[in-house]
Each structure stands twice: as structure tokens, then as C-alpha cells.
Amino acid sequence: MEISANTQAIAYLISAILFIFALKGLTSPASARTGNYYGMAGMLIAVLATLLGGDVQSYGFIIAGVAAGALIGGVLAARVQMTAMPQLVAALHSFVGMAAVLVAVATYLNHAALGTLNSLLMAELSVGIVIGAITFSGSVIAFGKLQGIISGQPVKFKGQHLLNLLLAVVIIGFAVDFAMHETLTSLIIMTILAFLLGFLLIIPIGGADMPVIISMLNSYSGWAAAATGFTLQNNLLIIVGALVGFSGAILSYIMCVAMNRSILHVVFGGFGGDDAAAEVSAAGQAAEKGVKSASVEDAIYWMEDASKVIIVPGYGMAVAQAQHALKDFMELLEERGVEVVFAIHPVAGRMPGHMNVLLAEADIPYDNVKEMNDVNPEFATADVALVVGANDVTNPAAKTDKSSPIYGMPILDVEKAQHVYVIKRSMRPGYSGVENLLYYQDNCSLIFGDAKDVCENLANALKGGAH
Amino acid sequence: MEISANTQAIAYLISAILFIFALKGLTSPASARTGNYYGMAGMLIAVLATLLGGDVQSYGFIIAGVAAGALIGGVLAARVQMTAMPQLVAALHSFVGMAAVLVAVATYLNHAALGTLNSLLMAELSVGIVIGAITFSGSVIAFGKLQGIISGQPVKFKGQHLLNLLLAVVIIGFAVDFAMHETLTSLIIMTILAFLLGFLLIIPIGGADMPVIISMLNSYSGWAAAATGFTLQNNLLIIVGALVGFSGAILSYIMCVAMNRSILHVVFGGFGGDDAAAEVSAAGQAAEKGVKSASVEDAIYWMEDASKVIIVPGYGMAVAQAQHALKDFMELLEERGVEVVFAIHPVAGRMPGHMNVLLAEADIPYDNVKEMNDVNPEFATADVALVVGANDVTNPAAKTDKSSPIYGMPILDVEKAQHVYVIKRSMRPGYSGVENLLYYQDNCSLIFGDAKDVCENLANALKGGAH
Amino acid sequence: MPEILVALYIFVLSCFIGYWVIWGVTPSLHTPLVALTNAISGIIILGALLATGLQGVGNLAEIFGFFAVLLASINIFGGFLVTQRMLAMFNKKKKK
Amino acid sequence: MPEILVALYIFVLSCFIGYWVIWGVTPSLHTPLVALTNAISGIIILGALLATGLQGVGNLAEIFGFFAVLLASINIFGGFLVTQRMLAMFNKKKKK
Ligand SMILES: NC(=O)c1ccc[n+]([C@@H]2O[C@H](COP(=O)([O-])OP(=O)(O)OC[C@H]3O[C@@H](n4cnc5c(N)ncnc54)[C@H](OP(=O)(O)O)[C@@H]3O)[C@@H](O)[C@H]2O)c1
Ligand SMILES: NC(=O)c1ccc[n+]([C@@H]2O[C@H](COP(=O)([O-])OP(=O)(O)OC[C@H]3O[C@@H](n4cnc5c(N)ncnc54)[C@H](OP(=O)(O)O)[C@@H]3O)[C@@H](O)[C@H]2O)c1
């Protein structure tokens, strides 16, 4: 069976519609699964329409590639820990980037063999290759930093940004030469330099900033797909590319707003490494007051008969995998008639929506989980706020201390609860390296220990205690 | 100066973007004016690009047409009363419909003269003509009913819907004949029948249902423009047509939901005319309890020292043009430290957003104006709810009386206020013809009189009274 | 792609845009929305211009075209101006 | 319209759709969103299929194409399945 170009175009349109509905499904958890199926259907239709379109004539390599890809992808998806999602995502981005480069080069070779090259095509190819290559090497670095293969420390040297700028200019130069004179060497040099640029752009960024970078690279991978669509005159690639491009861009934007930093600051800033200079001011004064530490029993005392407990999970909960223990604890509290709410800050954890996925993994119903703006007014009426491995997102310095690097970042109003208990292992600061003024408040005590252990102890205390 | 087809295509794209931003501007009153300017700019660019495109070679008729149109349109816009907006809108829709018909016919004539007709083109032309003609005659009837030129009563006869269906089939038949054999007579008959169909479709619908119908026709006029875009291979027309088409469709949908009726019920129902059978049940029982009537002074007594007064405007306020008097009254109350809120039901008045425009006309700041869902919880804390010429949107029967035709329609929870005063002229029911159970509640009294007069009296009482 | 398919693509994508942009309109501006869509549906004037301005074809087409230009212009000017008038009312800020 | 302009139209319209559809995603599903966009950006496989399957051109292109198919497939399968896994967690209803 072979379908005409027009049938193919209509199939592509249907598949574009399905992709849009797939994303629209994510409007609510209830419709999200159906959305994912729409996405799968769209992909299937698109692939079939391409295979049947008459342009594809040999299937051996394709079958091999898809089979191997299905196997690898399936295993990755089944095995990955929810806490390792950022790495997986980075790895997948790098694949899209590399695929874009490979497709562009192969398209060039095909057109060269058929003698159908022209300047516009070569210009479009260059755009695809450069964006793809940057996406690839950038994502590889991001993956390495997140996985701990490469040190998370920002690698910095003088004139870094100037070098990158220079490199970009040189790349454009080679691209122009390639587009105008069909010079193969220019193509090769351009590609290599683009890989290098991706590497240099991401290496100076601290490991902790990787979530924003990953979203940025997600956006790039979308634009790379769109650029490929222009080269291949394939409208479906253009549509999907734009959708993905916006997804990454909007997520980076959301993260930056929630951290009160500009994207430029993330890309050029080298945040969260060495310089913790400005934080002496208010925090320094507060330090002299000392910090109270508490035992599990102290905390239970206030929680077991409370009317409302708000739990604030953070990165530490993810690291310690404490969500299941928290779920047990929540159920025990609810059995005693305590209302339990989980309060999620938009950048708690290390990627957008990170906490939601972990809580969902532990089967915590999403009606119990509230976003920052919805839950903030509730702290004032809560008996206890239990902070589990969260830090920066609870730091009142963001509201009060103008000299703090996180000043202006919207935070959870934890300090308004009657009692605040914070579970963490040490006095070390969180991601931003800023000391947390919350710990010096009268109503706040710290429970030192691993989040999972402490949560299990809390649950046990509630079970065991002969109340 | 003449521009190439490509430049023209880019100009059209820019103008499409501007139109989208124009509509996006209406997201908030703050950005709406800029949005309107975007719309104007988009239109200017589109017209210039067309005139310079090389296809247009004689300008006499065009200049005359635009000049006359500008004059008529300008005068209409400057003169129209805000309360007469529904009529204006209906008239303008009819123009779009007629223009679509004229353009399609002229396009046919041009192509016939040049000998470039083909079946696809003629099929598209037929779609454009039929939708355009229905839009035209339907809107003319709607205009007539709203303006009172034609009786608002639904005109009904047996077999009406069957006749319409038959007509539609016949129209399609002639369209097919035209597209296949280029028969001019078929074209003419098809056009005439389409005009007739538009007439027959709208004439059985009661005057009070016109707002929904107008939105529906708005939607049609969009689809007519899109169909013209297909015939002329003009992508800008397609884009704008789809935008307008969705606007009308969504507004009809919103109205239907707010009235808890289906669009089919509106189109085929003949609501709000004769049959007031079912309403005896609960309303009948309540009627025996009698209704309290009150004087302006009674109402002032509870309002002058209240902490919160919620004003519920409705169709009667629009008819009486009472918004300016209400504004004075609001200011006098505020001077006395009373919090005044205006509560807007989504279908208060006779078109979506009707009340908002009137209140804005009277300079009432839009911070004082709240939508139903936001304001409903506030009634319980209000000392007085003052209902000014609203009726159906306050009828608790919608919540309690399953046999009521308006059962299930979301309403304003007026009855929860401590005291309720309703300004209206008589015991006649509102638009739906259903008796209002609110009037029989203990905390409710009616102030009989024209809304404007009563509001002026209220203001005077507040000024004059030596409190 | 043949023109008709291009048109179809554009139509479908525009429908999505229409859906979202209209749902984004705040309810208090629904009346101005109606007026504004009235104005922009005057875009049908492009068809009218082409019909009227084409050289060397029948007079009848030109006359039809003239009326189409006239009607569409009324929509455009009437629509934008009345929207403007309404929005000007909304734009007044709280004085106090 | 020349193909490049068609592409431009489609690109611009899709950008608007992208803007609205992504802002509509509820924050609690942002992680699945990232995984899903990963999956659908595997659409680059279309380019890979064309590059690999074209008859009678150099072997080099075919090999490049093979790797592109492989990488894109990993994305597609990995992306959809991990999204599925995550969403399955969300879908469990409150038991009580
Ligand atoms: N979510 C995103 O998309 C995103 C993106 C970019 C940046 N960020 C940044 O990430 C930060 C997130 O804030 P956050 O409050 O969730 O985390 P955080 O500020 O990084 O703090 C995490 C806390 O968890 C504690 N912790 C670590 N491992 C633990 C364990 N095993 N048991 C118990 N406690 C443990 C740490 O203290 P100890 O070492 O003393 O235990 C630390 O104070 C924000 O600054 C945000 O800007 C987030
Ligand atoms: N807004 C929309 O988009 C839309 C669309 C379609 C249908 N509708 C329908 O329209 C109705 C709107 O409800 P509504 O509560 O605003 O109006 P309503 O139910 O029609 O009631 C209007 C009331 O105003 C009174 N009134 C009329 N002229 C008056 C004057 N000069 N002075 C004082 N009172 C006067 C009338 O009583 P008297 O005659 O006794 O004075 C009547 O009870 C709903 O049923 C809705 O479904 C609205």
C-alpha cells in the first residue's frame, strides 16, 4: 500500500491535532492519561504515514533502529527511579539534539547525491545542525552534572563569555560559507564547533541550576525539530517543534519567576557555588539567638491532637525517598481526625512538579496536595507546619531581608503556623547557599536526621504511643 | 508601488498576528484598548497589502465604498446607545453575511468571465453563499425583533422544522448541481432559498432568546468569512474567520450554560412566550403567603449604616438607564463608609457582559464589580442586597424547585443577605416568564417603580435625610 | 502541498487559537468582544476589494463588489469605533 | 504560496497554540509534561525515516539515518512509557 502526498498531509494534520490534544490533556490529572494515549496515536499515525508515503523504500535499517530504540527506551522508562527523572530527561534531550544533527547531515548527503542542493536548503540545514549540536552537548553535560559523573561545581575562567561569543560568530561564518559555496569542510567545522559551544555554554553553570538549563535545552530541542521541519518541508515537524519549544521556554520562565531570577542570571550567573558574602546581615544577627532542636516525640505531641497539619516537602524528601513514610504518617494522622495538607512550592525539589510526582508515587491523593498560592492563607490556621527536607522555599529572608540573594522570591508562609518542625540532617544551607531565618524563630524547632528515618519514627511514635 | 505575492503573504501573516493580539488584549480591561489598536493596525495592513498586491487595478468604486462605509459606520458607532448594542451587533452581522454573498457572487462572475471556474471552486462558493445568506436574513430578523420592528413573539406553525430540513436538502441539491454543471439558475435559486432559510430559522425564536441567536449568527458570519477565504485562497480570511467563528460559538455556549439550556432548546424551543404551565407547584404555594412592598425610606434605613451593600443590576436597570443614578447612590453610600459591591450574573441583561458595559459607562470602577462566582459567598455577610431590575438571575426556584423551567440555572445567592430589596415596576415575571420565589421570602421586600426614579429617590433620601 | 490543504492546515490551527484566545477573554468584556469580532470580521473586505478592483471584467461584478466594500467598511469602522467607545468607559481608573 | 511561506504561517500559528496549551498545563503535572514533550519531540524520527529509507543514495546517509532512527525511537518509547508510568500514579483516586 502506498498513500498519496495529499493523504499523507492529511494524516500529518490529524497527528498534529492529536499531539495538541495530548498536551491539552495535561490540564488536569483526570484527563492526562487519555492525553498520553492521544500522543501515542499521533506518533503512530505520523510514522505510518511517512513509511507509506512512497519516499521510504528500504526498511532494514529502520526496523532495526526502531526495535533497538523500543527496547532501550522501554527499559529506561521501566527502570528509572522517580528521583532520577531530571537525568533521564537530560539524556533524552541529548538524543533529540543528536538525531536532529544526524538527520540534517543525512539530508545533506541525500540531496548532494541527487544534486538537489540549494542555498536556502543549506541555510536551513545549518540552523538545524547548530541548534541540534548545542542541544546535544549541552544536555550531555547537564546529564553528567546531575548524575554526578561530572562535578556539579561551575567551571569558570576569565573571558569565558567572550570566547563563547567569538565561537558563535565563527560558527555563523562557516555556516554562511557552507550555504553559499557548498563547502563540505565548512559544514564539518561548523558542526564540531557547535558541539564545542554547547559544551562551553553549560559547563560554567552549577549543578543546582540544571533544572532551568534542562528546560532551556528542552526548548532548544523543539526549535531543532522545527528547523528540521523547515528543511524537509514537513509541517508536522514544524508544529510539534513549536509546541515543544514553547513548553521548554515557558517552564524555564516559570522556574525563573519562582526563584526571582532572570534567565540571563541563570545562564551567566554561576549561582549556588562559592560566594556567600552578603548573607551575614540579618542572618548573622539571628544566628546569635541559637536554634532549637527537638525530638520526634516533641513534634508528635503537637501533631497528634491537632486540627490541621501542613506538610512542606522539599528536595531532601526526594533525596531520602521519604514519600512513602510520609504517606503512612499522613494516614495515621487522618485516622485521628487531623486534617493533613501538603503544600507545594513551584520550585521545591529540583524540577517543576517534582514533588507532585513523588507524592503521587506514594499514592497520596492529589486532593490533599495544594499549590503555593492556594495554601499560603492556610498556614495561619494550622497547628503545625512540618517541613520535610525543604529549605529555601520556606526562608522568610526572601520577604524581609533585602540584602539576601533570594530576596523577592515568593515563599511558603510556613512561619505563620503555630508550631514549625523542620526535618533535615545538619545546619547546612539549601540549594541557594543562603541561611534560613526560619530556624531562628521562636516557634520553630529542627529535628535532625534523614528525612525517611525521621518520618518513619514519627509514624511509629503515633502508632506505638498508647494515646 | 506594487508588492509581490510573497510580500503580501507576509503582510497578511503580520495582520493575522495583530488580530490575535487584539483579541488577547481583551483578557483584561487594562490591555483591552491597546488590543483594539492592534486590531485596527491589522486591518489597515491587510487592506493596504491587498490594494498594493497587483490584483486590484481600479480604485473608483473602492474609494467610494470605503468612504461611504466609514461615514455610516462612524455615525452608527458614535450615536448608538449602550442599551441598543444588541441591535447594532445584529445589524453588523447582517452586513458581513451580505458582503460574503456579494463577494462570492462577484468572484463567480469574475471567474466566469475569465473562464477559470472549476468544481471545487464552485463548491466552496456555494458554501460561502449559503452561510452568508443565512447569516444575513437571520440577522435581519434578529435586528427587527430586538428593535421592535417585528413582533418578538415566536412565530410558529406545524411542520416548521420539517420544512426547514426540506429546504436545506433542496439547497444542497441546487448547490451540487451548480458545482457540477455550472448552472447559473441553480446558483440563483440556491441563493434565494438560503435567504429564505435564514428567515425561517429565526422567525420562530422569541425575541428574548435573540442574544444567543446573535452570538450564533456571529459564529456563522465567521464561518462565512472562512469559507470565502477558501474560495479566494486567502489565508488571512481563513484565520480571522476561525477566530470569529469560535468567538460566537463560545459566547453562545457560555450563555446556554448560564441559563442551563441547550443550544438546540434555544433554536427549536420557542422559550419565553406562552406556556407557563409548570410553574404552579412551589411558586403557587408561595404566592398565598403574599409579598411585602416597601418604600424608599425603609430601604434607606437599613442601608445608610450598613457595613456592606451588594447591588444586583439586571435587564430592568438597562431599560430604565438607571446606571448613572446608581453611581451617585454608590458614592453617597461609600462616603458614609458603606462597602458597595456590584454583583454580575453572566446572563444578566440581554447580552453577555451587558451590565459591565453599562456600569462602566456610568464610571463605576471595575474593582467594585464582581462576577457571580466571586461574589456569591459574600451575600451571607451583606446587610442589604439591592436588586435593581433583575429577576430571573435571583430566583431561588432555580436551586429548589425541580419542576421550574429554570431549574439548574446558576443564580446569585441574593436570598442569603440579611435584607433584600427589589426594585421593579410590577409583579410581572422576567424574561423566562417564571415567578420569582425570592419575593415571598421573609427578608425580601419590593419597591415598585421605574428603576431610574427609585434610584434617584434613594440617592436623594440619603442626601436629604438629616442623618 | 496543494492550496486547499494549506488552507485546511491553517484553518485547523486557527480553530485552536480561536478556542484559547476567546476562552481567555474576561467575562466583563464580552460585549466589547462581540463588537470587536464584528469589526475584524469586516476582513471580508479583502474579498470585496479583489472583486471590485479586478480590471476588465463585467460591470455587474464591480457593482456587487462595491456594495460588498460598502457593507464591510461599515462593519470595520462601526465595529472598531464602538469597541473603542466602550473600552474608553472601562479604562477610567478609580478616582479616589 | 511558496513552501517556505506556508511553513512560516504554520510555524507562527503553532507558536500561539504552544503558548496557550502549555500555560494551560496544571503545575502539578509539569514533570509529566517534560516527559511527554520529550516523547513527542521524537517526531524528528520522520526526518530520520526519510533519510534512512531513501533508495539509491550513499551508504553513509543510511548509517547516519539508522542512528537517528535509533535515538528518536528511544525518545518516543522512553518518553511515552515514563509519562504513562508517572500518570498512572496520579490517577489513583482517593480510597476513602
Ligand atoms: N524545582 C525546580 O524546578 C527548581 C529548579 C531550579 C532550582 N531549584 C531550587 O531548588 C531549591 C528547592 O528548594 P527546597 O526547599 O526544595 O530544597 P533546598 O533549599 O535545596 O533544601 C533541601 C534541604 O533538604 C535537606 N536534605 C537533603 N537531604 C536530606 C535527607 N536525606 N534527609 C533530610 N533532609 C535532607 C538539606 O539539608 P541538610 O543537608 O542539612 O540535610 C537541605 O536544607 C530552591 O532554591 C529552588 O530555587 C528548583
Ligand atoms: N445576558 C444575556 O446574555 C442573556 C442572553 C439570553 C437570555 N438572557 C436572559 O435574560 C434574563 C436576564 O435576567 P435579568 O434578571 O437581568 O432580567 P429579567 O429576568 O428579564 O428581569 C428583568 C426585570 O426588570 C424589571 N424591569 C423592566 N423594566 C424596568 C424598569 N424600567 N424599571 C424597573 N424594573 C424594570 C422587570 O419587571 P417589571 O416589568 O415588573 O418592571 C423584570 O422583572 C435571564 O433569564 C437570562 O436567561 C440573557
pLDDT value for A120: 87
pLDDT value for A282: 44
pLDDT above 80 for A445: yes
Q: In this structure, which ligand is nearest to the CA of A317?
A: 1
Bridge partner list, B213: none
Share of chain A above pLDDT 70, in %: 94
User: Mean pLDDT over residues B77-95, rounded?
Assistant: 89
Interface B-D, measured as beta-carbon pairs within 8 A, has a size of 18
User: Mean pLDDT over residues A10-14, rounded?
Assistant: 96
Of ligand 2's listed atoms, the one at least distance from the Cα of B409 is 47
pLDDT value for A269: 56
How far, in Å, CA of B263 to CA of B269, rounded?
9
D residues 30..89 contacting A (CB < 8 A): 30-55, 57-58, 60-89
A408 at interface of D, judged by CB pairs closer than 8 A: no
Cell matching residue B293: 412592598
Model-level pTM?
0.88
CB nearest to C1's CB, from A9, A16, A239: A9
Q: How far is the CA of B316 from the centre of ligand 2 (A)?
A: 5
pLDDT above 80 for A281: no
Q: Residue A197 in contact with residue A171, Cβ under 8 Å?
A: yes
Share of chain B above pLDDT 70, in %: 94
Task: Give the residue whose CA is nearest to atom 47 of ligand 2.
Answer: B259
**Predicted confidence (pLDDT) per residue in A253-265, tens digit:** 988 888 877 777 7
Contacts of B10 in chain D (CB under 8 A): 5, 8
Share of chain B above pLDDT 90, in %: 48
A392 is catalytic: yes
Shortest distance between the Cα of C48 and any Cα of chain D, in A, equals 21
**Predicted confidence (pLDDT) per residue in B145-188, tens digit:** 888 888 777 777 788 888 989 999 999 999 999 989 888 899 99
How far, in Å, CA of A164 to CA of A236, rounded?
33
The count of residues in chain D is 96
Strand order in the sheet with B369-371: B369-371, B339-344, B308-313, B384-388, B419-424, B444-448
Task: Give the residue whose CA is nearest to atom 40 of ligand 1.
Answer: A426
pLDDT above 60 for A274: no
User: Mean pLDDT over residues C39-44, rounded?
Assistant: 94
How far, in Å, CA of A435 to CA of A438, rounded?
9
Strand order in the sheet with A369-371: A292-293, A444-448, A419-424, A384-388, A308-313, A339-344, A369-371
pLDDT above 50 for C13: yes
Q: How far is the CA of B137 from the centre of ligand 2 (A)?
A: 27
How far, in Å, CA of D12 to CA of C51, rounded?
29
pLDDT value for A273: 41
Q: Are residues D17 and C16, on separate chains, in Cβ contact within 8 Å?
A: yes
Q: Where are the domains of chain B?
A: 1-79, 94-268, 282-463
Kindly give, in sequence order, each residue whose CB lies less than 8 Å from that of residue B12, ignoring residues fewer than 6 positions away.
B46, B49, B234, B235, B236
Q: Are residues D17 and C14, on separate chains, in Cβ contact within 8 Å?
A: no
How far, in Å, CA of B300 to CA of B284, rounded?
31
Q: Are residues A235 and C13, on separate chains, in Cβ contact within 8 Å?
A: no
Interface residue of D4, D5, D31, D57 to substitute, partner A, most A CBs within 10 Å? D31
The 8-class DSSP code of residue B293 comes to B
Q: Residue B308 in contact with residue B339, Cβ under 8 Å?
A: yes
Pick the CATH number of A282-463 from 3.40.50.1220, 3.40.190.10, 3.40.50.720, 1.10.10.10: 3.40.50.1220
Kindly give, in sequence order, each residue whose CB lies less than 8 Å from that of residue B303, ignoring residues fewer than 6 positions away.
B309, B333, B338, B383, B384, B386, B458, B462
- The model's confidence at residue B222, banded by pLDDT at 50, 70 and 90, is very high
At C22 the three-state DSSP class reads helix
Query: Ligand 1: does its nearest atom lie under 6 Å from the Cβ of A385?
Result: no
pLDDT value for B282: 44
Mean pLDDT rounded to a whole number for chain A = 87
Residues of B taking part in catalysis = 392
pLDDT value for B86: 86
B3 at interface of D, judged by CB pairs closer than 8 A: no
Query: Ligand 2: does its nearest atom lie under 6 Å from the Cβ of B22?
Result: no
pLDDT value for A60: 85
User: Mean pLDDT over residues A182-203, rounded?
Assistant: 92
pLDDT above 70 for B279: no
- The model's confidence at residue B211, banded by pLDDT at 50, 70 and 90, is confident
pLDDT above 90 for A147: no
Query: Ligand 2: does its nearest atom lie under 6 Å from the Cβ of B23?
Result: no
CB-based touch B/A (3+ pairs, under 8 A): no
Rounded to 5°, angle at Cα A345 from A342 and A349:
95
pLDDT value for A451: 92
Mean pLDDT rounded to a whole number for chain B = 87
Highest mean pLDDT among A448-457, B15-24, D23-32 belongs to B15-24
pLDDT value for B8: 94
